[in-house]
A and B are shown apart, each in its own frame.
Chain A
Amino acid sequence: MSAPAIQAPRSRPAKASNFELNTWLFMRASGVLLLVLVFGHLFVNLMLGKGIHAIDFAFVAGKWANPFWQVWDLAMLWLAELHGMNGLRTIINDYATKQQTRFWLKTLLYFSAFIVLVLGTLVIFTFDPCIDPSSTLEVCRVK
Chain B
Amino acid sequence: MWSWVAHRITGVTLFFFLFAHVIDTSMVRVSPEAYNTAVETYKNPIVGIMEVGLVAAFLFHGLNGIRVILVDFWSKGPRFQKQMTYGVLGIWVVLMIPFVIRHLSNVFGGGH
Contacts and interface: CB of A to CB of B under 8 A. Distances in A.
Interface in A83-111: 84-85, 87-88, 91
A60 interface: yes
Nearest to A76: B18
Given A28-B69, A53-B106, A87 B11 contact: yes
Given A52-B106, A84-B14, A38 B32 contact: no
B28 A57 contact: yes
Contact of A42 (B26, B31, B58, B106): B58
Given A51-B106, A123-B28, A80 B18 contact: yes
B69 A51 contact: no
A35 B62 contact: yes
A128 B102 CA distance: 31
Interface in B22-67: 22-23, 25-26, 28-29, 31-32, 35-36, 39, 42-43, 48, 51, 55, 58, 62, 65-66
Interface stretch (A4-12, A15-23, A112-120): A112-120
Interface string B1-18: 000000010011011001
Nearest to B11: A87
B82 interface: no
A81 B22 CA distance: 10
Size band of the interface chain A makes with B = 35 or more
Nearest to B103: A46
Contacts of A52: 42-43, 48, 51, 103, 106-107
A91 B8 contact: yes
B111 A47 contact: no
B74 interface: no
11 contacts: A35-B62, A46-B103, A47-B99, A52-B103, A55-B42, A56-B32, A56-B35, A84-B18, A87-B11, A123-B26, A132-B32
List 8 A-B pairs, minimum CB-CB distance, nearest first: A84-B15, A51-B106, A57-B32, A35-B62, A53-B111, A132-B32, A31-B65, A120-B22
